[in-house]
Structure 1
């Protein structure tokens, strides 16, 4: 390959990286997905939702620590999140045993992932663990609801070498925990869950 043919290819790669996170001009379908059609039901006990709210607050602290690339704060938030997850009163959920078994399995998996979080040596490993926790926590919230709260399911298409990754937020603003200051606002809200 000579220099002349290499320059346009290199330029294209740089342009693709810069614009990879830019929202597309045709967003009608995305905007519809990001806006809830109506409030969803959260039919379980207030005790469960009070405890789940503590879980979510610890999760949002973990996300904020990763946005700031603060490994020590992330470890502290992950430990708090694990503590709240372990004390989540899933036994108060009035649901059939097979559904309850799925919920219990999800909470156990989240707790197990958080147990190894501090052992991750670098931010990349912590962010990978955070991604798994985010996906499982979203499933938990979708299955039980979160009374009186709105959860924004956000997505960065460039995370983990363009494999993409989701996270949860309590606000519509994009603050990317996978890149932090490198690409702070890279991403979009894919889904909004609003519970009454």
Structure 2
């Protein structure tokens, strides 16, 4: 192949690559803007009022772990269990399969909170907290929480570098797995914004 033929071919390939990069940018921008769009929370206000109180109890439990206060964590876990047990899931108007899934999640959260109360040490309680956090996130993704923003945060070093998630109503990191030892260790992995 001679040099005169290679130059136009090289120019064409360079132009194609630049065009492809410019085409990809709007898709990335669309994905980023889609991530900040408010999600729907379509169920009754009665349910959301109860779920909001439940989340406040969860945030108190998280705060007890941030302070490494085992006694406060036990008390906050008991309060959270009471609120989870009284969630009015019967007000959710959805198909029976979906409702069964929600009921299963709330039952599992309640059982894990019973386990949390039975744990003697702070690390055992934190392991139960991790399970509660994961299940509560699944519940929130299924039902939403009208008018609220939930930050799904992650600590990669928790549980001997296995990593663990928790939920927060603030973007600021307050790590419940290490408390004051590594208070700001972690990152927000997901944000759920409901209207």
TM-score band, normalised by the shorter chain? 0.7 to 0.9
Unmatched segments (≥5 aa) in structure 2: 1-27
Q: Which ranges of 4 or more aligned residues in structure 1 deviate by more than 3 Å?
A: none
User: Hey, what does 2:177 align to over in structure 1?
Assistant: 178
Paired residue secondary structure (2:79): helix
User: Hey, what does 1:24 align to over in structure 2?
Assistant: none
User: Hey, what does 2:42 align to over in structure 1?
Assistant: 43
Aligned-partner Cα distance in 1 for 2:169–2:90: 26
Unmatched segments (≥5 aa) in structure 1: 1-28
For these two proteins, the number of residue pairs brought into alignment is 165
Aligned-partner Cα distance in 2 for 1:182–1:92: 43
Aligned-partner Cα distance in 2 for 1:60–1:175: 11
Aligned-partner Cα distance in 2 for 1:116–1:188: 27
Aligned-partner Cα distance in 2 for 1:193–1:69: 27
Aligned-partner Cα distance in 2 for 1:36–1:167: 19
Per chain length, whose mean CA-contact separation is higher, i.e. which structure has more relative contact order (CA < 8 Å, sep 6+)?
1
With normalisation by structure 1, the TM-score equals 0.82
Paired residue secondary structure (2:188): strand
User: Hey, what does 1:126 align to over in structure 2?
Assistant: 125
Tell me how large the CA RMSD over aligned residues is. Answer: 1.4
After superposition, give the CA deviation of every residue in 1:169-192 in whole Å (9 maximum; x if it has no partner).
Answer: 000000000000111000000000
Q: Does 1:141 align with 2:175?
A: no
Which residues of 2 match residues 145-184 of structure 1 at below 5 A?
A: 145-184=144-183
With normalisation by structure 2, the TM-score equals 0.82
Q: Is the Cα–Cα contact under 8 Å of residues 152 and 169 in structure 1 kept in the other structure?
A: yes
The structure whose residues are more often helix, as a share, is 2
User: How far 1:135 sits from its partner (Å)?
Assistant: 0.1
Aligned-partner Cα distance in 2 for 1:77–1:180: 16
Aligned-partner Cα distance in 1 for 2:181–2:39: 35
